[in-house]
Structure 1
Amino acid sequence: MGIECAEAEALKEGIMWTSNNNVTRAVFETDCASLVNRLKSRKEDLSIFGFQLKEIFKLFESFIDVKIE
């Protein structure tokens, strides 16, 4: 598993934990700049990594306000 995939998986786990604990506003931080840039650009990505990003975007829908930095 590449670094980006591992960072994305860790972010996804954090988002799911936060959502399961009824948090509706959150700021998620990561030190993986390429992950943050890909999430902020929201460009279509047909790779396996792109599939991970789509899962993260779906999880963001459960929040009133969410930011990634």
Structure 2
Amino acid sequence: MGFLKDFGLPELLIILVLVVLLFGVGRISKVAGELGKGIRSFKSGISGKDEDEKEETPEENPTIEPK
């Protein structure tokens, strides 16, 4: 993989500009958001906690009913 040794900052900037021109900023932000959700889901799956299994916390301001 000798061609990767000559891959520097100018080449990365050119690729970044091409990607933005091809897909647009909105599409890239959507993909990044979905990637973040996927990583979060993966981490919660590894730790064994699902959204359905979250620990129930008591209410911060419990309502007191009058007698």
Scaled by the length of structure 2, what TM-score is found? Answer: 0.31
Scaled by the length of structure 1, what TM-score is found? Answer: 0.31
* Higher RCO (CA < 8 A, seq sep 6+): 1
Q: Which of structures 1 and 2 has the bigger CA Rg?
A: 2
Name whichever structure is richer in strand by fraction.
1
